[in-house]
Structure 1
Amino acid sequence: MKSLLLNSLLAIYCMISSYLISGSKAQAEDWGCQVILCLSNPGGPTQYGECRPPIQKLWRELARGHSFPTCSGVGFHSSRPGYEPYYCDAGYRLTGDGGPRGRQVTCVSISPQPVSNALCPNNGDDFSARDNSVLSPHWQRQDGRRRCMGYPIVRPNMRPQPHYIDVTIDGSTTQRVWY
């Protein structure tokens, strides 16, 4: 996949370079070609100083609701802008429900973890301490011992750049770009 990305990047670079060297007058689509070239960089779209102005312009234009720029001769497709303000750390999944204060988003562990014994029912009782930070507390054998296990709930992280677009180059390389 890395070689495919590099080949796509090289093809785009050659197309843009030959266009720019040809002495043609600048056209509106130059910016779109610069954006595609910069987004194709495995090191990130703003790794190089030359890419910062066209990418910053892209973020501004997308934030205003404008469409993704075009670049003729390059096979690419962009999705509609999306918005995902929250994310979870590894080992957790994002969940949401309609709580008393509206939609609430949390991160729930994808596998059971040891939790306080006070949260599990004792001797067949259905009673367990109420704790909104753990789902489904239950007794489970682990390493030959009986342990109280549950699915911890934590607050989600906030993305500094919650908007995104998915860009597909040459029909095979898709990259999610956050802005």
Structure 2
Amino acid sequence: MKSLLLKSLLAICCMTPSYLISGSKAQAEDWGCQVILCLSNPGGPTQFGECRPPIQKLWRELARGHAFPTCSGVGFHSSRPGYEPYYCDAGYSLRGGDGSRGGQVTCVPTSPQPVSNALCSHDADNFGTHDNPVLSPHWQRQNGRYRCMGYPIMRPNVRSQPNYIDVTIDGATTQRVWY
């Protein structure tokens, strides 16, 4: 990992004009280049101690509505900041928006799951319990026998860092960075 980070640093230094990286005074663009370097680390932007101060400054600046910093000589693009406070476990999809304006957000499985047989009985008029609601309970043939299947609804997980930006460096794969 450190060798990949070092290669990225060398690439940035080689593409950055020498007047920006030489001399005793730091240039305003140094911070932007540090941010790009740290964000390009596959181990995460704060894996190395040297990256924590510039990345923490980035989070503060973005949270205040400031623009993403620039770095001369490096081809990168960043999206506008986004907000996505909820997420679902693997195999589930988020339904109901982002929870703003009082809307309810839930996680629904992408395929039917086994549920209580009572939910598929002819006289069943409910769709699960208040704590465990189920959408579309139905009988489905599975391995030669019928099982009651449905879509049990779950509460979404809440992100500790709900804001994000998408960063593309030198045309490589876009990376979503949460803050």
Q: Provide the aligned C-alpha RMSD in A.
A: 2.7
- Gap regions ≥5 residues in structure 1: none
Q: What letter matches 1:83 in structure 2?
A: Y
Q: What letter matches 1:32 in structure 2?
A: G
- The answer to whether the 8 A contact 1:166-1:177 is kept is yes
- Residue equivalent to 1:26: 26
My pick for the range that moved more, 12-21 or 79-88, is 12-21
- 1:41 shift after superposition: 0.5
- Residue equivalent to 1:129: 126
Matches within 5 A, 1:56-71: 56-71=56-71
Q: 1:123-146 deviations in whole A, cap 9, x for unaligned? A: xx6x44332611110001111111
- Gap regions ≥5 residues in structure 2: none
- Residue equivalent to 2:151: 151
TM-score (norm 2): 0.85
SS of the equivalent of 1:44 reads coil
Question: Larger strand proportion, structure 1 or 2?
Answer: 1
Question: In the aligned structure 1, how far is the partner of 2:55 from the partner of 2:121?
Answer: 56
Q: 1:126-176 deviations in whole A, cap 9, x for unaligned? A: x44332611110001111111100011100000010000000111223110
- Residue equivalent to 2:79: 79
Count of equivalent residues? 171
Q: Taking every aligned residue pair, what percent have the same amino acid on both sides?
A: 84
TM-score (norm 1): 0.85
SS of the equivalent of 1:161 reads coil
SS of the equivalent of 2:153 reads strand
- Residue equivalent to 2:178: 178
